[in-house]
Structure 1
């Protein structure tokens, strides 16, 4: 009898059998990830929404969580795919679901995009690939939180010699010294330059100070055989060519 009681207690204490296949059930996002990868491999980015492309970026650094919510939160916080890439590391880390590794991954992708755009500019005559120049400048500067003053130095064939950030200022001002601009052009044996700076406010309209400064650089450079082809102002939503808009 004691033996029978022991058997009853033993079977009573055993956990109920798991439902068939329950232990093998994977989180719902596993299938979603593979489907998204398959779409990308088969059709490229043309069929993907912005949040889906962000998801693909985050898969590697967020291996065990649903990345869709984080991707959509990023877009809601910063406004667009480009603005997510351009956002400062500190602000990316503040987004729910985005840790240090994910924020760094986004900035690596942004740096790769900038390097790719720069390669398109440096490989050919700058003035024959104006769209590439604008694309590169936007990738490099459009979402910077402070003003930067950048110079593209060109040789007599309008090939890029150097691309340098000369000054970094505040949210609405960058100090520029025309003599230093010309001195650097002479050091590099540049015969032409393109001036570029960004407006963190987003509006690429040149200020009166921008126009006056550009004219001073033109007047300083011309007697030394250096041509100022243009001054481009980059904003979040577009750009302004001072020459094309007849400011200079």
Structure 2
């Protein structure tokens, strides 16, 4: 005998929707889903007893894209109705997993031979940060990654960079080459005059010590700029 007579204990309406969405994902993959639907799937585990569609749509509406939702700070995520501390933490864990996955694609192989993976990793790690970050990829003589370090975090439009400290750290790690990377929270990756001068200073200090600066990447929501591509290095 069913336990759902008279509508008193009927299963929540969203359970059928969850199963249908899971089936679509299994049969057609993530490309068949809208951003908010993929976000719904992620939220199923964190929100087991509520309809996640309104929460997912509210997150996309607030932050703009799937990537920006995952990259947003926990405090800002929790400003969205339905997103508590556990849900915000769950989303940040997914973001951390995405960064770890992207980093795995560039570890233990020559970076210059997998440049698209390098750019993808940097975009996942930095494109949607709300403050400027300056990070350095340190490479060995085979151009394999030794270390990936955020050297400085600044404001929304400025990060203090100390060229001699950059080169000093490269020497400490016995790196023979580096890739400079920073983000522009404005979204526009166009290099500023200060960016160009700072890069030139680092190149000038590093070269006599046998440290090559392979590139300086600026990461923005609207794209990525390569100093080497612009012939600025």
SS of the equivalent of 1:122 reads coil
Cross-structure match for 1:146:
131
Q: Give me the CA root mean square deviation.
A: 1.2
In structure 2, C-alpha distance between the alignment counterparts of 1:123 and 1:47, rounded to whole Å: 33
* Runs of 4 or more consecutive aligned structure 1 residues displaced over 6 Å after TM superposition: none
Q: Unaligned regions of 5+ residues in structure 1, if any?
A: 1-18
2:108 counterpart of 1:123: yes
Cross-structure match for 2:190:
205
In structure 2, C-alpha distance between the alignment counterparts of 1:112 and 1:120, rounded to whole Å: 13
SS of the equivalent of 2:49 reads coil
In structure 2, C-alpha distance between the alignment counterparts of 1:96 and 1:181, rounded to whole Å: 43
Cα gap change, 1:191/1:65 in structure 2, threshold over 3 Å: closer, same or farther? same
2:224 counterpart of 1:224: no
Cross-structure match for 1:10:
none
Cross-structure match for 2:162:
177
The number of residues matched between the two structures is: 230
SS of the equivalent of 1:156 reads coil
Cross-structure match for 1:99:
84
Cross-structure match for 1:42:
27
Cross-structure match for 1:28:
13
In structure 2, C-alpha distance between the alignment counterparts of 1:79 and 1:224, rounded to whole Å: 45
Superposition pairs of residues 181-192 of structure 1, within 5 angstroms: 181-192=166-177
TM-superposed deviation, 1:214: 0.1
TM-superposed deviation, 1:24: 4.5
In structure 2, C-alpha distance between the alignment counterparts of 1:222 and 1:159, rounded to whole Å: 19
Which structure would you say has the larger Rg?
1
Q: Which range moved further: 51-60 or 41-50?
A: 41-50
In structure 1, C-alpha distance between the alignment counterparts of 2:77 and 2:28, rounded to whole Å: 29
Q: Which range moved further: 97-106 or 208-217?
A: 97-106
Q: Equivalent of 2:68, from 75, 83, 104?
A: 83
In structure 2, C-alpha distance between the alignment counterparts of 1:23 and 1:215, rounded to whole Å: 72
SS of the equivalent of 1:167 reads strand
TM-score (norm 2): 0.96
SS of the equivalent of 1:91 reads helix
In structure 1, C-alpha distance between the alignment counterparts of 2:139 and 2:15, rounded to whole Å: 50
SS of the equivalent of 1:165 reads strand
SS of the equivalent of 1:111 reads helix
Q: Equivalent of 1:66, from 40, 51, 72?
A: 51
In structure 2, C-alpha distance between the alignment counterparts of 1:95 and 1:77, rounded to whole Å: 8
